[in-house]
Amino acid sequence: MMGATGSFSCDACGKSYAWKPEIAGKRVKCKCGGKLTVPATDPAADDAPDGFDDLMALADGAPAHEESYAPPVAAVAPARVAANAGGVCPSCNARVDPAAVICVNCGQNLKTGKKLKTSKLSGDAAPSSAASERVPGYRSFGVKSVAGEGMSPEKKKMLAIGLSAFLVLLVGAIVVIIIKGIQNDRQHQARLNSKPAKLEKLIDNMDKAGGIGNAMHDGTLLNGVKNTPQNTSDEVDAERLRNYYKFEERCGILLANNGPLASEWLKDPKSRFFRYDHAASAKIVDQLSQMGATEIHTTSPPAQDAYGAVIVGGIVGKLPKDTAKRKKIFAWYEGLDHVIEADNQPQPLEAGQSRISIEFRPE
């Protein structure tokens, strides 16, 4: 085997082969299928690349005759030119600098004929217009363009000013909200500190009166506690509470007597109230029921007098919740005759009570 030799390449695919004396001047076939003529002499012993595959010679290895084979590749592809002739790559026909060693388009070594391995660029890495105008097929190996890369300095300045102003406004709004919240908390705390809370005041009133029952009875439970509209004085509130307590207490005492339902008692034609006959007594119970009162009982079990009449002193009824109906019942009550209006049974007023008692004076 001789020393280092030069190499030659296939005109069709650019693959390079080591030159060997035993195939010098012969027609050979490249691995791509193309046919070429091996140089008769060593092309360039000093430029032989390492690691090239050996060339496969034709079957008999005899000197080739052009007329017995297909036309050479140069004849099939007349468009291709000699290596770097006129600044054109012999492999891809791209224009190259006459002094260039590597074709940047296909990777062909213009000096040795060795083809470098390259990879195709993605669609978004298109060559720049300037490079495309200089060399057809030029491939750019630069980075992708960055968003906002083409923004002018004036636009960048305006964008920065706008963002700064937005941040200032946002911070200012947050500060205002925080300061307002602090002020509201301080005002609320000041109101709490200026006077006792309602619950504390109610407890204090009960302690002074000796219990909630006494405080409700003497009307001191709500002293100092505003629980009604602003135009209602503490004295009115106290009077209202006293009436409520008296009404509820009196009705509770009367119901404890276990009087029958008034409708059942009136089934006896001899039944009547004090100072009323049977018909008038039945009319009173009927009117109260029609106005919305329910659970109407007698104030005590009926008692028979010396004349055989079945007499009771009055009735107790559950008031409706409807304000208009309650108002109508209280007005109706004011027109009744012979009712008791003692200290422990004041004329019924609207005090939020749940029941109403109607008691008549004895005969």
- Verify that 184 and 281 share a domain, yes or no: no
Q: Write out the two tokens for 37.
A: 């003529």
Label residues 263-285 b or e (16+ Cβ within 10 Å = b).
Answer: eebbeeeebbbbebebeebbebb
pLDDT of residue 202: 79
* pLDDT mean over 122-132: 45
Question: Does 169 score more than 50 pLDDT?
Answer: yes
Residue 292's domain spans which residues? 253-359
Q: Return the H-helix or E-strand segment holding 213.
A: helix 212-218
CA distance linking residue 292 with residue 284, whole number of Å = 13
**Does 261 reside within a domain?**
yes
Question: Does 301 score more than 80 pLDDT?
Answer: yes
Between the CA of residue 348 and those of 213, 227, 304, 355, what are the distances in Å?
20, 22, 29, 10
pLDDT band at 267 (very low <50, low <70, confident <90, very high): very high
* pLDDT mean over 35-43: 83
Maximum average pLDDT range among 30-44, 115-129, 216-230, 273-287: 273-287
Angle at which helices 323-334 and 278-290 pack, to 10 degrees? Answer: 160
pLDDT band at 110 (very low <50, low <70, confident <90, very high): confident
**Four-CA torsion 149, 154, 160, 162, nearest 10 degrees:** -120
SS3 271: strand
SS3 10: coil
Closest CA to 137 of 105, 115, 106, 110: 105
Ranges 84-93, 116-125, 322-331: which has the least confidence: 116-125
* pLDDT mean over 26-38: 85
pLDDT band at 89 (very low <50, low <70, confident <90, very high): confident
The number of beta carbons lying within 10 Å of the beta carbon of residue 20 is 16
pLDDT of residue 195: 56
Q: What is the pLDDT of residues 305-354, one digit of tens each?
A: 888 999 999 999 999 999 999 999 999 999 999 998 766 666 678 888 99
Label residues 113-142 b or e (16+ Cβ within 10 Å = b).
Answer: bbbeeeeeeeeeeebeeeeeeebebbbeee
The amino acid present at 275, given as its one-letter code, is R
Question: Does 140 score more than 80 pLDDT?
Answer: no
The better pLDDT of the pair 291, 116 is held by 291
CA distance linking residue 21 with residue 45, whole number of Å = 12
Q: Write out the two tokens for 352.
A: 């939020």
**Does 230 reside within a domain?**
no
The better pLDDT of the pair 45, 296 is held by 296
Residues recorded for the chain: 363
- Report the percent of the chain where pLDDT is more than 70: 71
Question: Does 24 score more than 50 pLDDT?
Answer: yes
Average pLDDT across the chain, whole number: 76
Do the beta carbons of residue 243 and residue 347 sit within 8 Å? Answer: no
* pLDDT mean over 186-190: 78
- The pTM assigned to this predicted structure is 0.40
**Does 282 reside within a domain?**
yes
pLDDT of residue 297: 97
Closest CA to 27 of 61, 78, 75, 74: 61
Q: What is the pLDDT of residues 231-248, one digit of tens each?
A: 456 777 788 888 888 889
Do the beta carbons of residue 33 and residue 69 sit within 8 Å? Answer: no
pLDDT of residue 107: 80
At residue 205, what are phi and psi to the nearest 5 degrees?
A: -65, -40
Question: Does 39 score more than 60 pLDDT?
Answer: yes
pLDDT of residue 343: 62
Q: Write out the two tokens for 111.
A: 């000096």
Q: What is the DSSP string of 96-111?
A: --TT-SB-TTT-BBTT
SS3 261: strand
Closest CA to 274 of 312, 231, 331, 220: 312
Question: Does 192 score more than 60 pLDDT?
Answer: yes
Q: What is the pLDDT of residues 54-73, one digit of tens each?
A: 444 443 444 444 444 444 44
**Does 291 reside within a domain?**
yes
* End residue of a domain, out of 150, 180, 196: 196
Q: Write out the two tokens for 209.
A: 């009166």
Question: Does 253 score more than 70 pLDDT?
Answer: yes
pLDDT of residue 150: 66
Question: Does 225 score more than 50 pLDDT?
Answer: yes
pLDDT of residue 72: 47
* End residue of a domain, out of 147, 180, 196: 196
- R_g of the chain, CA atoms, integer Å: 60
Ranges 106-120, 137-151, 197-211: which has the least confidence: 137-151
pLDDT of residue 137: 45
**Does 72 reside within a domain?**
no
pLDDT band at 155 (very low <50, low <70, confident <90, very high): confident
- For tokens 């009570």, the residue is 353
* pLDDT mean over 262-269: 95
CA distance linking residue 277 with residue 300, whole number of Å = 18
**Does 91 reside within a domain?**
no
Do the beta carbons of residue 258 and residue 320 sit within 8 Å? Answer: no
Question: Does 41 score more than 50 pLDDT?
Answer: yes
**Does 318 reside within a domain?**
yes
- Verify that 352 and 282 share a domain, yes or no: yes
**Does 345 reside within a domain?**
yes
For the chain, how many structural domains are there in total?
2
pLDDT of residue 325: 95
Name the pairing type of β-strands 310-312 and 271-273.
Answer: parallel
* End residue of a domain, out of 196, 217, 238: 196
